């Protein structure tokens, strides 16, 4: 049996042209599961190989199974690749997983490009699917495979198999098949200080109930951790076998279990790996304290990011964020004092947004003064509470999945703010935060290497572009 795993172009995920940032960890886990099942997979990345390179892989391999993954903004690219597979390798079963398939499996299947959609965690679902196909290679009825929706052959009826329970022991999963990548150095994480970078997921899930987040739909608000020993062993493998010089944690909520996090820091401190560590995502300000941050700093963690979202308590309540702004301010100051590069994330255009709440967000960002403030327009993704509420109220005025990348223009309006006004506040926030003389001098003082100079110049170009973007 031949399986081809395809990572679609990630350009629409951002809405601006960036170097291919990270390898698709989810597909690499699927590849490892296929190997365990006795299937040697092939992997190809559309951003690295190009559309013609993917077409060549379809023709050369003539696969029995084509698997893709997609977030909402890149779904149309995944769909186009699936149709390409249908033309070149028509006997292949085409399946899609990832956040968008989990959020909207019916819409995904009604597109006609895919035979099946994996919902939630896909590893055990794909393993069962492969076993079914091997036993009955001519059988297309996939009924009974939990976590899989599919179109029945003939009439196209969508069969909705039950959800699959979450994987109870993450240590049972094989390590991601990083050897299938051209190299780790093929990817260019925008905030990396050293290359190559390996991404690690030590846990899955987040307990938060933020209205704009897809995590509850995928993981049900639970956080499950791998054992500390398993995580440390994977980091060692990424260094020894793949040459990683920096480790980026991709977890949604790594510090939710305080004791587990302290034990991880202790184990990494003992290991003395010759790498730096960074967080890809934000931490919750109410899930860290001085001891925990000091432990993270002691192992070489370079940055911490915090999802603040708004400087308005009313907007935070609307978002069900569940944080206190005074605590957020104090946590940011503590992180700065401990020597972390500090990042904060803010949104404009959240439900209930007004000019006053947008101004409060800029004021908080300037007062807290993290090293970097990342300002975004609120994006309602399928499967989230925010999407359902905005759709029901008729506020999705410009909705197009292709335009839901994080740096793209708004696809919605709120009662007291039109899309153009959201973009005004986005530009104003970047201008007021970054063009302060003290902030410019601060960034110049922090430059200690050519790598840091390169990162600062890249950030400057990016922020300048954001200030000039039209709605």
Whether omega for the bond prior to residue 196 falls within 30 degrees of 0, making it cis, is yes
Q: How many CB atoms lie within 10 A of CB 374?
A: 21
Q: pLDDT value at position 235?
A: 98
Q: What is the pLDDT of residues 443-459, one digit of tens each?
A: 677 666 565 566 666 66
Can you tell me the distance from the alpha carbon of 402 to that of 279, in angstroms, rounded to the nearest whole number? 27
pLDDT in tens, 16-75: 666 688 999 999 999 999 999 999 999 999 999 999 999 999 999 999 999 999 999 999
424-434 burial: b if 16+ Cβ within 10 Å, else e: bbbbbbbebbb
Can you say whether the dihedral through the CA atoms of 232, 234, 236, 239 is positive or negative? negative
Angstrom distance (rounded) from CA 465 to CA 470: 10
pLDDT of residue 439: 81
pLDDT at 456: 62
pLDDT at 198 over 90: yes
Dihedral through CA 298, CA 299, CA 301, CA 307, nearest 10? -80
Give the CA angle between residues 193, 197, 203 to the nearest 5°. Answer: 115
Residue 470 has pLDDT above 50, yes or no: no
CB contact at 8 A, 16 and 78: no
**Positive/negative CA dihedral, 269, 274, 276, 279:** negative
Q: What is the 3-state secondary structure (H, E, C) of 314-369?
A: HHHHHCCCCCCHHHHHHHHHHHHHCCCEEEEEEEECCCCCCHHHHHHHHHHHHHHC
In Å, how far are 14, 303, 372, 401, 411 from 405, measured between CA atoms? 5, 24, 20, 8, 10
**Beta partners for residue 307, in sequence order:** 345
Q: Which residues contact 87 (CB under 8 A, 6 or more apart)?
A: none
- CB-hemisphere CA count at 13 Å for 34? 27
Counting residues of the chain whose pLDDT is more than 70, the rounded percentage is: 92
pLDDT at 140: 60
Domains of the chain: 3-160 (3.40.50.280), 341-471 (no CATH)
User: How high is the pLDDT of residue 450?
Assistant: 65
| Cα distance between residue 92 and residue 116, in whole Å | 12
pLDDT for position 471: 40
Average model confidence (pLDDT) for the chain? 93
- Asked if residue 132 has pLDDT above 70, the reply is yes
DSSP state of 182: S
Interval 125-140 mean pLDDT? 82
Residue 315: CB atoms within 10 Å: 23
d(CA 426, CA 74): 23
Give the 3-state secondary structure of residue 165: coil
Query: What is the pLDDT, as a whole number, of residue 454?
Result: 64
Question: Which whole-number Å values give the CA distances from 164 to 71, 127, 160, 189, in the listed order?
Answer: 20, 13, 12, 32
Q: How confident is the model at residue 405 (pLDDT cuts 50, 70, 90)?
A: very high
d(CA 353, CA 348): 7
Element at 411 (helix H, strand E): none
**HEC secondary structure over 90-159:** CCCEEEEECHHHHHCHHHHHHCCCCCEEECCCCHHHHHHHHHHHHHCCCCCCCCCCCCEEEECCCCCCEE
Q: Rounded to an integer, what distance in angstroms lies between the CA atom of residue 47 and that of residue 17?
A: 11
E strands, 356-419, are 372-377
pLDDT at 190: 82
């Amino acid at each position: 049996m031949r399986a081809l795993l395809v990572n679609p172009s990630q350009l629409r995920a951002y809405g601006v042209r960036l170097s291919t940032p990270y390898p698709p960890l989810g597909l690499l886990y699927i590849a490892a599961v296929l190997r365990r099942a006795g299937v040697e997979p092939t992997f190809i990345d559309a951003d690295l190989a190009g559309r013609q390179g993917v077409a060549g892989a379809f023709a050369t391999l003539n696969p029995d199974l084509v698997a893709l993954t997609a977030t909402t903004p890149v779904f149309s690219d995944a769909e186009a690749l699936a149709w390409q597979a249908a033309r070149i390798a028509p006997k292949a079963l085409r399946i899609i997983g990832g956040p968008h398939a989990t959020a909207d499996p019916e819409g995904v299947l009604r597109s006609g490009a895919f035979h099946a959609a994996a919902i939630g965690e896909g590893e055990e679902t794909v393993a069962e699917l492969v076993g079914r196909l091997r036993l009955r290679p001519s059988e297309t009825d996939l009924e009974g495979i939990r976590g899989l929706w599919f179109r029945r052959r003939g009439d196209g009826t969508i069969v909705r198999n039950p959800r699959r329970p979450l994987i109870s022991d993450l240590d049972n999963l094989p390590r991601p098949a990083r050897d299938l990548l051209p190299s780790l150095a093929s990817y260019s994480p925008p905030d990396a200080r050293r290359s190559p970078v390996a991404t690690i997921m030590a846990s899955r899930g987040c307990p938060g109930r933020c209205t704009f987040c897809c995590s509850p739909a995928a993981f049900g608000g639970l956080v499950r951790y791998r054992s500390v020993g398993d995580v440390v062993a994977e980091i060692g493998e990424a260094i020894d076998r793949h040459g990683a010089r920096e480790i980026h944690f991709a977890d949604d909520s790594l510090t939710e279990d305080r004791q587990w996090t302290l034990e991880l820091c202790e184990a990494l401190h003992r290991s003395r790996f010759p790498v730096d560590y960074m967080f890809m995502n934000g931490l919750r300000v109410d899930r860290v304290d001085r001891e925990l941050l000091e432990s993270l700093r002691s192992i070489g963690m370079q940055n911490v990011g915090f999802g603040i979202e708004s400087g308005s308590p009313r907007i935070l309540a609307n978002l069900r964020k569940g944080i206190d702004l005074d605590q957020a301010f104090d946590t940011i100051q503590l992180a700065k004092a401990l020597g972390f590069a500090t990042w904060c994330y803010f949104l404009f255009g959240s439900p209930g947004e007004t000019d006053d709440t947008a101004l409060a967000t800029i004021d908080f960002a300037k007062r807290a003064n993290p090293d970097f403030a990342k300002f975004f327009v609120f994006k309602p993704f399928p499967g989230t509470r925010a999407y359902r509420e905005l759709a029901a109220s008729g506020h999705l005025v410009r909705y197009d999945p292709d335009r839901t990348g994080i740096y793209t223009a708004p696809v919605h309006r709120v009662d007291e703010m039109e899309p153009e006004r959201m973009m005004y506040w986005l530009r104003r926030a970047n201008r007021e935060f970054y063009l302060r003389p003290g902030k410019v001098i601060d960034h110049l003082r922090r430059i200690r290497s050519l790598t840091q100079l390169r990162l600062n110049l890249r950030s400057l170009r990016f922020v300048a572009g954001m200030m000039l973007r039209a709605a």
